[in-house]
């Protein structure tokens, strides 16, 4: 995606409902988040709009061109809600990920079903997920990269009766990349995400926010006065600064580790973990590694930039706000854009924390 440019406020939208053009509209909102459907709420005007809008119909919106600046906005979704009035109708439409959410249940096992040749065990979770998402008009032809993370029989969460989206959600919990090298900190675990970012093309993406060589698409600085507002949400549910790791084979074998700086600042947040290990050195190392990764709360930032409207999911944004001690490059994991008399965008930045099982499964292999 090109670097962000200022978008003119007289932006036009090209709108169709079931391929019928709609000329008059107001109060447009689009909201997106990783691993979810984007959705649009828009008010359409005129008798034709009311006549052609129906539940299950297809709403398509493309941004027009203003002052020769092309806006990369293309939404196509299914109408899920209607609020008709005398001369207008307000509709809510979800993109095609909604088809995966509402799909018929599938029994996932070594193959998807008797009539399918799609393998699971031993295959890349990236390509399995692409095959599962190839459904009801969703385009997956661009999913060619691969993750290198293979499905195994002990990944029990993948199997059983699930909708297609339920399978994707379980697969993406397991799709966590471990990056190493001079450009990364220790324990650089970064999650993959999925989303439809344009039209009906499904994307799988890995925002490489921990890579110090990555160039952000946008820099928001307090000193540049290009941030209208910023709020931090602090989540301590994953915080752990005092951990005991116990051998599941012999409960008398255990090791402790505490980070006193974190305990003094945030209070003691203890965790007890069992692992199939009898080597005390390895139990100690696991305790140290676990605390080092989880000794600070998870922080996500919600901010409203000035004159930066079309930032997409997975894009990297650098935020420098000394007054609240922020100087980080963070991925966009959610956004809300409202177009009415003006254009306003609110961004959600940050990475979701890994749960205990995810993190411990990732830590254990290097320990032997």
| pLDDT for 309 | 65
pLDDT mean across residues, the chain: 84
Across 18-27, 176-185, 216-225, 338-347, which has the greatest mean pLDDT? 18-27
Would you say residue 38 has pLDDT above 50?
Answer: yes
| pLDDT for 67 | 43
Q: What DSSP string describes 20-74?
A: EEE--EEEEEEEEETTS--EEEEEEESHHHHHH--TT-EEEEEE-EETTEE---E
Between residues 196 and 304, the one the model is more confident about: 196
Would you say residue 31 has pLDDT above 60?
Answer: yes
Tokens at residue 255, please? 């090791």
Rounded CA separation 238/354 (Å): 8
Give the CA dihedral 238, 244, 245, 251, nearest 10 degrees: -140
pTM of the predicted model, to two decimals? 0.82
Would you say residue 303 has pLDDT above 80?
Answer: yes
pLDDT tens, 170-184?
999 899 888 888 888
Sign of dihedral through CA atoms 133, 135, 139, 144?
Answer: positive
Residue 10's pLDDT band (cuts 50, 70, 90): low
| pLDDT for 253 | 94
Would you say residue 310 has pLDDT above 80?
Answer: no
Would you say residue 128 has pLDDT above 60?
Answer: yes
> Coil, helix or strand for 126?
helix
**Cβ atoms 230, 299 nearer than 8 A:** no
Between residues 187 and 116, the one the model is more confident about: 187
> Coil, helix or strand for 358?
helix
């Amino acid at each position: 995606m090109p670097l962000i440019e200022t978008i003119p406020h007289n932006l036009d939208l090209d709108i169709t409902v079931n391929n019928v053009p709609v000329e008059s509209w107001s109060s447009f909102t689009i909201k997106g988040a990783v691993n979810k459907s984007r959705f649009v709420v828009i008010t359409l005007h005129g008798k034709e709009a009311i006549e052609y809008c129906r539940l299950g119909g297809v709403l398509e919106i493309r941004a027009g061109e203003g002052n020769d600046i092309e806006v990369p906005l293309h939404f196509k979704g299914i109408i899920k809600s209607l609020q008709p009035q005398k001369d207008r109708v307000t509709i809510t439409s979800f993109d095609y990920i909604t088809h995966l959410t509402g799909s018929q249940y599938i029994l996932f096992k070594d193959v998807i079903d008797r009539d399918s040749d799609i393998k699971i065990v031993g295959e890349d979770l990236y390509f399995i997920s692409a095959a599962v998402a190839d459904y009801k008009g969703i385009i997956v032809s661009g999913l060619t990269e691969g993750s290198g993370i293979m499905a195994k029989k002990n990944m029990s969460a993948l199997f059983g009766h699930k909708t297609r989206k339920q399978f994707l959600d379980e697969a993406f919990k397991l799709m966590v990349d471990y990056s190493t090298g001079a450009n990364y900190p220790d324990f650089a675990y970064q999650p993959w995400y999925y989303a439809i970012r344009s039209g009906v093309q499904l994307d799988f993406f890995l925002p490489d926010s921990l890579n110090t060589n990555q160039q952000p698409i946008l820099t928001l600085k307090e000193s540049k006065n290009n941030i209208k507002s910023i709020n931090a949400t602090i989540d301590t549910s994953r915080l752990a600064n005092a951990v005991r790791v116990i051998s599941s084979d012999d409960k008398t074998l255990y090791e402790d580790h505490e980070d006193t700086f974190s305990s003094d600042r945030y209070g003691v947040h203890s965790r007890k973990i069992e692992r199939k290990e009898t080597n005390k050195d390895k139990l100690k190392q696991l305790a140290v590694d676990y605390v080092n990764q989880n000794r600070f709360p998870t922080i996500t930032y919600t901010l409203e930039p000035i004159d930066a409207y079309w930032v997409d999911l997975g894009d990297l944004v650098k935020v420098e706000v000394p007054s609240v001690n922020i100087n980080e490059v963070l991925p966009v994991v959610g956004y809300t854009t409202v177009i009415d008399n003006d254009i306003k965008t609110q961004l959600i930045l940050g990475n979701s924390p890994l749960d205990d099982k995810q993190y411990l499964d990732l830590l254990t292999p290097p320990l032997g």
